[in-house]
Chains A and B, each alone.
Chain A
Amino acid sequence: MSSATHTHGSHGSSSQSGEVQPLVGHLVSYPTLLATGTTLLLLTIITVAVRYVDLGEANIYIAIGIAVVKATLVSLFFMHLRWDRPFNLLVLVGSMLFVILMMCFCMMDVGQYQHTFIPGNPSAVQMQLDTTAPGAPITLKR
């Protein structure tokens, strides 16, 4: 069996001539890796910068949106998912879908019974405050 027939990394323009090819798996080029890393760093700087701009509600969505883009970059390029078997991608996306499912159902429910929570300090917190920090302003917030 010649290993050439089984070279995984032969597609794409990434393979540099004269370099050893792996028996299995995909080879990602240095420029791709470096570009991914740089983009991730840039996005980090952007997301920190946006924090200091008050956009109200939008801030959180921008922050999460940037995080999703970063996560996609990491999984596609660093984790080789772009070249990997589709089933592995399905495993990752599927697990995330189940997290979203859990979040949606739980949030829908909590949203419905939220008005039943008693505002103010919970009982054990109030007892703690009365003994250790009776002067704290929060002591009064019943």
Chain B
Amino acid sequence: MTTLDSRQIPTSAPDNYLTHTRGLLSWLLTLDHKRIGVMYMTAVLTSFFVGGVMALLVRTKLLFPGAVEWMSADDYNKAFTLHGAVMVFLVIIPSVPAALGNFILPIMLGAKDVAFPRLNLFSFYLWVLGAICAVWSLLVGGFDTGWTFYTPYSTQFAAGGVIPVLIGVFILGFSSIFTGLNFIVTIHKLRPPGMTWFRMPLFLWAVYATAVIQVLATPVLGITVALLVIERAFNIGIFDPSMGGDPVLFQHFFWFYSHPAVYIMVLPGMGIISEIIAVHSHRHIFGFRFIAFSSIAIAIFSFLVWGHHMFTSGQSPMMNVLFSAITFSVAIPSAVKVFNWLATLYKGSIAFNTPMLYGLAFIFLFTIGGLTGIPLAVLSTDIHLHDTYYVVAHFHYVMMGSALIAMIGGLHHWWPKMTGRMFSDFWGKIACGLVFVGFNVCFFTQFMLGSQGMPRRYYMYQPEFKMYHHISTGGSYIMAIGFIITAIYLIHSLFAGKKAPANPWGGASLEWQCSSPPPHDNFAVTPRVGDCYDFSAVRWDEEQEGYVIDTEAHIAAASNGKGH
């Protein structure tokens, strides 16, 4: 609890991005990537709250095998659809690239801003517009198609709010495209001298690979939902079989985006983990180039496997075999990353603080999520497991256990940098433990549910599944408590947290070399770039209660060829 002591260090607050200008308008019209990142983060976390409440409603309903008075079957469908759509389109996809990436990427790179600050702000407002469309959809009856909008259900039947939410998804897609485009240009063109591709932190490699997917895949989602809107409104006969359309084609189009989108969600998370693992075990990252290139490999592979979502939807046997085979190959770059992280931890001096705990949780959960994907890629077992709770558990391990846990870990890792305040590490560890335990209780149970034949998205179920559903719901409550504690201590730290030093964890990348919070222009002089994973020149400074880095020694070590 020491960090909660209001032992404020009375420094004459230097001008930082938070105090540079004042007033609401200075935030709403800001072109500063840091403020846009903070606005994104606020918006994303608000959506996370909404999506989380929906998840708890769904789980609470599932305590009862039969119908309940307070939630009809239709409401249940709308609740889980809203949960899925909000979590995917409003939370996870923008969480790391748009929220954390916006804040960290230019600082890590040593740039003054992203390449197109106006476009950056524009893409934030596109996000807001997309969120408004989701609300609009709720006002006209909600939508109950599941987040995948499969035809012909979404074209002929479904609740009235399908078109507004599709318009929202279209707009959110462009928000995502513009963010990705901005980051690619920033990384290509705004690197300061000395920041070569192989001096770039792995988080930037991951965000770069993500941005490539965002730019190449998201337009297809845009055109797909546009066609779906047209199909639903005018019955043109492209996806709707009653007008001569082909519903399997919709799935091809949808998954051409939505499988790569899985990597839009998880790749930046992997980047965060590379940073967290290296910094908090104070050891040079193992296999820099392997991790870097595996990000690019994942980005490219991700475009070749989308058909594994369609094994049972009428896709031809030949393509089933082909997609199944390619899907296995995605395991290679993912495993490369995991082994390199483990090798980094080996003999490191690991600091078990909150960000590191999230990092370790990620490795554990991602490994389970990845390994349980294999039975889904195998054609024969997928027939049995398709559309059961096994799938639900698998993708929650990847989407939530990996992507979101990494996001929360990154939030803790860079919280001192973003806010200039330290959070309570004690409560952080407790909350992390609750989330980790609750998560596993909630979702590991669902592997068992699914392999015994409980279909996903069902409102009612056989009595023999009751025990599993109860355990799972209990786990979700434990998780909720963990997140509530997280929210409390983070908000508390904003007002009463200890002032954060420039470098609280001992990182060596550029963002730890500017003050916390960073000044408006990030760096007064263009920073000199060393090896961001060489911690030999980093030492603890009692006076500042943080780490300091001996820049000369750091640069010298890098130029002596002691790199990767």
Contacts and interface: CB of A to CB of B under 8 A. Distances in A.
A122 B252 contact: no
Nearest to A109: B319
Q: Is the interface of A mostly helix, strand, loop or mixed?
A: helix
A87 B306 CA distance: 27
Contacts of A110: 246, 248-249
A109 B188 contact: no
B30 interface: no
A57 to B, nearest CB: 24
A106 interface: yes
B371 interface: no
A103 to B, nearest CB: 11
Contacts of A117: 246
B249 A106 contact: yes
A123 B152 CA distance: 13
A109 B252 contact: yes
Contacts of B537: none
Given A95-B216, A106-B252, A123 B242 contact: yes
Contacts of A61: none
Contacts of B318: 108-109, 112
A112 B188 CA distance: 42
B28 interface: no
B242 A124 contact: yes
Nearest to B314: A113
Given A105-B319, A109-B315, A113-B315, A125 B249 contact: no
Given A87-B188, A101-B304, A112 B319 contact: yes
Interface residues of B, number: 26
B242 A108 contact: no
A125 B243 contact: yes
A122 B216 contact: no
A19 B324 CA distance: 61
A105 B216 contact: no
Contacts of B319: 105, 108-109, 112
Given A101-B304, A124-B242, A112 B317 contact: yes
A101 B317 CA distance: 19
Given A106-B249, A109-B315, A112-B319, A122 B303 contact: no
Contacts, number: 55
A87 B235 CA distance: 42
Nearest to A112: B316
Contacts of B315: 109, 113
Contact of B307 (A94, A105, A124): A105
B220 interface: yes
B194 interface: no
A99 to B, nearest CB: 9
Contacts of B246: 110, 117
Contacts of A112: 316-319
A3 B240 CA distance: 60
B247 to A, nearest CB: 11
Contact of B256 (A94, A102, A125): A102
A104 to B, nearest CB: 11
Contacts of B141: none
Interface string A113-140: 1001100011111000000000000000
Interface string B308-337: 000000111111001000000000000000
A89 to B, nearest CB: 14
A94 B306 CA distance: 19
A124 B243 contact: yes
A30 interface: no
A122 B249 contact: no
Nearest to B306: A105
B316 A113 contact: yes
A102 B216 CA distance: 11
Contacts of B453: none
A98 interface: yes
A108 B317 CA distance: 11
Most chain-A Cβ atoms within 10 A of its Cβ — which of B188, B241, B244, B315? B244
Q: Closest 3 CB pairs between A and B? A: A112-B316, A124-B242, A122-B244
Given A105-B252, A106-B252, 5 more contacts: A108-B316, A113-B314, A113-B316, A123-B242, A125-B237
Interface of A: 87, 94-95, 98, 101-102, 105-106, 108-113, 116-117, 121-125
Interface of B: 188, 216, 220, 235, 237, 240-244, 246, 248-249, 252, 256, 303-304, 306-307, 314-319, 322
6 contacts: A98-B216, A109-B252, A112-B317, A122-B241, A125-B243, A125-B244
